[in-house]
Structure 1
Amino acid sequence: MYIFDSLSRKKKIVNNFNKVNIYVCGVTAYDICHIGHARLFIIFDILIRYLNFMDFKVKYVRNITDIDDKIINISTKKKINFYNFVNKIINEIDIDLDKLKLIKPNYEPKVTNYISSIIEDINKLIKNGKAYINKNKDILFNIKKFNNYGILSKNNKKIFFDFTIWKNSNINNKFNINDFNWISPWGIGRPGWHIECSTISRVFFNNTINIHGGGIDLIFPHHENELAQSLSINENFKINIWMHVGSVKISGKKMSKSNGNFIYLRNLFKFFNYDVIKYYLSNKNYRNPIDFSFKNLLKSKKIINNIHKNFMEFNIYNSENIKNIFFKNEFINNMDNNLNINNVYTLLNYMIKESNKYKNVKSIISKNILNDIFFIMKIIGLINNNNFFLKNNKNINNKNIYNVIENLIKKRNIARKNKNWNISDNIRNYLNNLGIILEDKNNKTIWYFN
């Protein structure tokens, strides 16, 4: 498998062996997830699911930044205990990401649990001359001492400045020093943003990261600074592939609260199921930005619903034959070629059209093609279980939900046969209110989630 490397600007092989170490820069816990977070984590979820399918052993680490000026400022302004605020935000983030049904990282380290390791790395940078203490007693990384600074961002026009790796605090600091500062050899303070990823990746991966991921906006300064630090701490440290995911824009502008174009992930869940959101946010080359629109999200919903309908009609859900995917080679070739997910979706749409050609001729052909679609979708996480299209609804939460719906449809068909239209309409309306659509065709009723 080959992935585009932002450092070398070319595709590089993921690993010649069966183990893959992946580190992804996670959220900063000052606010809940927006759709930019969702896209980043969806892309890496698809990558990891595919690597698992190809029998790679994946070690996936995604950090949580739980100490940051934004967190301090917001919690102070709201007069909320710093740790209570952070833990509440992390819990809310987990709720949103769980709804996307993503594979959880093997490890999700919080920065505040690694302060002693961060202090150890900063001390090493001071001793080897790569960092210094300024007049304010902050500790800064000296970029002039790292010859290749700027190699990742490739932007020689930037005016580069030394950056802070440890922020000094004192008794006159406007923040409560007991809440979010630590004792170090240089006094009371807290780590800067960039040093945390260098330290955590060192702790978990020792000398090598196969894939280091993040949003494309992190290339500079965060990943540029991280690279300089990591190599200054350990010159043998290797990051084989820097993998960056394009941002989500709205009306061509960067998504931000200041621009008034900010969309929280949980707001999408009010209207769309997780598989529709995942399909939409990954249906473009992952390196390119997405210009978000509800119109295109509705198109994605229509595509997913069409696939659901076909699955329902041919009762695809009970097959376990994953070894003999007819379109397996096309699927693998696209995924191995820089995680070409959008081409996989093009393939799925082609397969749906092929399946429809044979519906009234040889239904076994249609069923085999749909079976392929089912397992491709399952491999990349668009299907979480056989009842993936059902909404969790308080009015219909029986464990045997499938049988409940089928029995209601049988009662409705009996009512229709006996021309009891009132009963028939009541059952249809009841199911419609639960988000379940019925279609009567060829003396058969199929149902799917709207």
Structure 2
Amino acid sequence: MLKIFNTLTRKKDFFFSVCSKKINMYVCGITVYDSCHIGHGRTFTIFDVILKYFKHCQYKVKYVRNITDIDDKIIQKSRINKENIYSLTQRMISNMLYDFKKLGITLPQYQPRATNHINTIIYMIEKLLKNKHAYIAKNGDVVFSISSYLNYGSFSNQSLKKLKYFNNIDLSNIKRDRKDFILWKKQVCLDDPCWKSPWGYGRPGWHIECSAINYDYFLNNIDIHGGGIDLLFPHHENERAQSICFHNTQYGHFWIHVGMLLVKNKKMSKSLNNALILKKILKIYNSEVVRYFFLSTHYRSPLYYSQENLEKSKNALIKLYFILYTSMLKDKVLTTNILYQYNNKFSICFYSALNDDFNIPKALSILFQLERKIQFYLKYDNVILANQLAYQLKYLANIIGLLDQDPINFLNQCHFFCTSYSLQQHDNYIIDIIRKRNIARKYKLWEKADKLRDKLYALNVIFQDTKDGTLWKNRYF
């Protein structure tokens, strides 16, 4: 049975959904003022695995991931670019979708933009004002009063007295409490985007959009609410406070937070000028290598970025793809024995790892146990068992979005194979045999070519003839 670490209870809880076999999942999306960085890539890859696993377990998932398309940063960026806000956000959304598709991230069922939910936002603010959970500040902003919600700070486990302020501007003469947060921001500059409201022209604050979108899609029946750990405070603390005050009941059953991605032991952030753009990394490494890197550490733990760790991820995937390639050489069509995959210890251990708070690194270790077992069977020419396990390896890896590419294409992209023309980098003896075999094949001297082929097999060389030459590699590492 699946257990998930619930930020709300600070422990692993057995998962349940409001409706059997139906899950409402909401994940806080991106503020689209710039290209996605690899921290975004990690967060949404994790939730993609969660989505894939639920679907694999026959759940019907209603998955919503919002898009913040109005914000101070967006307005500032549009001014710097001298670009229309709609044009900027549309371009950034297109870039985001391209990057995520390349990473193999499934498109959410719904991707609502904040600006499409203004009416609901206004409705919620009106009710919060009516019930004395909000007030109109001296500058015309509508502000949530944290003193009206007695449990404020408990979700992120913070004391109100020790809360850090995220705004250096002294607003004590405008708000009742400096920690109160904005629900509706009154228009200041005439060229700022704005919407008509009962409190004059303005735009929504950041936190209220998620409450409104959840209300529109789920009312208040959210099974899973997720995002990066950096959103726990203030965003999720504020969102929960205003939603509980609006609904007058609990808000969200399971809260999942993904750990930070660190660069040189510092949080990666555009404001710290150390953000690594996802698109640039995907140009250097195969997308599945990047995905593996995101999955290589438990989702709640920090992930340390380095080129060395990306190379380790690449080499790990090469090992798995190579054993699939080896099995394909023995039998071009992998055996699809469906019953076999459900009835051995590898599948049981793999599912057990994912059921334990989505322990993906442990699930990956099961894949390498399979890889070693396939090597063992190939060594003793037990092709049938090796082939069955190779199918199982691919089947299990596909659940978390790995081993989805053609092995030869992947290995070629990673420059794993060498061709018969790269003489200086490889064993001249093997190269010479391959050269002679290619000549024999060219002149249709099949008997001689077969003898040279058998000689390569005796040397534990695996090879594949392609239009670009003969790809080869020693069978075992």
Same fold (TM over 0.5): yes
Range with greater deviation from structure 2 (127-136 or 364-373): 364-373
Call closer, same or farther: CA 1:201–1:323 in 2, change over 3 Å: farther
Do structure 1's residue 7 and structure 2's residue 21 form an aligned pair? no
Which of 171, 179, 182 does residue 164 from structure 1 map onto? 182
Tell me the CA shift for residue 368 of structure 1: 2.4
1:84 is matched with 87
- Structure 1 distance, partners of 2:56, 2:405, is 16
Secondary structure of the 1:209 match is: coil
Which of 208, 218, 225 does residue 212 from structure 1 map onto? 225
Tell me the CA shift for residue 273 of structure 1: 1.2
- Structure 2 distance, partners of 1:420, 1:268, is 43
Tell me the CA shift for residue 385 of structure 1: 5.2
- TM-score, normalising length from structure 1? 0.86
* Deviation sequence 1:273-292 (CA, Å, 0-9, x none): 12111111111110011111
Tell me the CA shift for residue 371 of structure 1: 1.9
Contact 1:14–1:211 (CA under 8 A) maintained in structure 2: no
* Deviation sequence 1:95-124 (CA, Å, 0-9, x none): 111111111111000001111111111111
Call closer, same or farther: CA 1:386–1:443 in 2, change over 3 Å: closer
- Structure 2 distance, partners of 1:370, 1:221, is 47
Counting matched residue pairs gives 411
2:76 is matched with 73
- Structure 1 distance, partners of 2:136, 2:440, is 85
Do structure 1's residue 241 and structure 2's residue 257 form an aligned pair? no
* Deviation sequence 1:185-232 (CA, Å, 0-9, x none): 110000000000011011111121111000000000000000001111
* Mapping for residues 372-391 of structure 1, pairs under 5 Å: 372-384=392-404, 386=406, 389-390=409-410
Which of 356, 373, 398 does residue 354 from structure 1 map onto? 373
Identity level (%): 39
Contact 1:101–1:384 (CA under 8 A) maintained in structure 2: no
* Mapping for residues 386-397 of structure 1, pairs under 5 Å: 386=406, 389-390=409-410
1:306 is matched with 319
Contact 1:280–1:300 (CA under 8 A) maintained in structure 2: yes
Call closer, same or farther: CA 1:418–1:300 in 2, change over 3 Å: closer
Call closer, same or farther: CA 1:225–1:338 in 2, change over 3 Å: same
The unaligned stretches of length 5 or more in structure 1 are 394-411, 424-438
Call closer, same or farther: CA 1:241–1:355 in 2, change over 3 Å: same
Which of 348, 352, 358 does residue 339 from structure 1 map onto? 358
2:285 is matched with 272
Contact 1:7–1:241 (CA under 8 A) maintained in structure 2: yes
Secondary structure of the 2:397 match is: helix
Contact 1:312–1:448 (CA under 8 A) maintained in structure 2: no
- Name segments (4+ residues, structure 1) moved above 6 Å: 412-415, 420-423
Call closer, same or farther: CA 1:231–1:331 in 2, change over 3 Å: same
- Structure 2 distance, partners of 1:63, 1:356, is 45
Do structure 1's residue 61 and structure 2's residue 64 form an aligned pair? yes
Contact 1:26–1:64 (CA under 8 A) maintained in structure 2: yes
Tell me the CA shift for residue 323 of structure 1: 4.6
* Deviation sequence 1:218-256 (CA, Å, 0-9, x none): 000000000001111112353111100001001101112
2:297 is matched with 284
Contact 1:140–1:163 (CA under 8 A) maintained in structure 2: yes
Call closer, same or farther: CA 1:292–1:200 in 2, change over 3 Å: same
Which of 189, 203, 211 does residue 216 from structure 2 map onto? 203
- Structure 2 distance, partners of 1:385, 1:322, is 20
Q: What letter matches 2:69 in structure 1?
A: D
Secondary structure of the 2:153 match is: coil
Q: What letter matches 2:293 in structure 1?
A: Y
* Mapping for residues 76-115 of structure 1, pairs under 5 Å: 76-115=79-118
1:426 is matched with none
2:417 is matched with none
- Structure 1 distance, partners of 2:247, 2:375, is 58
* Mapping for residues 110-125 of structure 1, pairs under 5 Å: 110-125=113-128
The unaligned stretches of length 5 or more in structure 2 are 165-177, 414-431, 444-455, 465-470
Which of 129, 134, 138 does residue 131 from structure 1 map onto? 134
Q: CA RMSD in A?
A: 2.6
